[in-house]
Amino acid sequence: MFSPADNPGLAAVGLGWGDLDGPGEPPSPSRTEPVRDMQDWQGRRGYDLAMTFNIQICVDCADAHSQADWWAETLGWVPEPLDQALIDSLLADGTIGPDLLINHNGERRWRDGAAICRQSEVGSPDRLRILFQPVPEPKTAKDRIHLDIHLNGADRDVMRAELEARGATFLYQEEQGPSSWYTMADPEGNEFCIA
């Protein structure tokens, strides 16, 4: 028989079967029968513990649209297109007001955010995406998470010069074993590396 105690992760946080139903919920009837194995337990939960999830990378910034444009050019990606017909419909039925939109590069865009992705992934629900979202506070410390740009054989010094010409700042060079990289900052000061 499988029990939460058989899983060190569940045991470490002190979960029992009652905890798996949800706060304030009585144990479901299936909890009164012994669990045969992990597959039986996963089936009762409604998902596979080995399931993987997609992520979106979010970047806090002052100017979401400028940052999205800068990063799209840097990575060779594109700003995600918006469905202008959907925006017309949402405006017409009063779901949104015009104050939620701006005109950016000749297109209506959401005022409070801009996203980029690879051109080949536009519209795909599984796309890798970076969302830039405005926040009121300025950046005050080193980022705890940063992007590493793998140049795939492109000349790092040429890339550094191109990025600096577009507003990036070179911070320092680092080496570890056979690897070396430049740590840079984007126009708003967010660190990233090129290697």
Q: Say how far apart CA 60 and CA 140 lie, in whole Å.
A: 12
Model pLDDT for residues 88-115, shown as the tens digit of each residue: 999 999 999 999 999 999 999 999 999 9
Confidence of residue 27 (pLDDT cuts 50, 70, 90): low
The stretch 142-155 carries a mean pLDDT of: 93
The stretch 7-11 carries a mean pLDDT of: 37
The residue written with tokens 């596979």 in the block is 48
The stretch 59-85 carries a mean pLDDT of: 96
Range in 42-56, 60-74, 181-195 with the lowest mean pLDDT: 42-56
**Contacts (Cβ under 8 Å, ≥6 apart) of 139:** 60, 188, 189, 190
Using the predicted structure, report yes or no on whether residue 54 has a pLDDT greater than 50.
Answer: yes
Q: Is the pTM of this model over 0.75?
A: no
Q: Say how far apart CA 109 and CA 87 lie, in whole Å.
A: 9
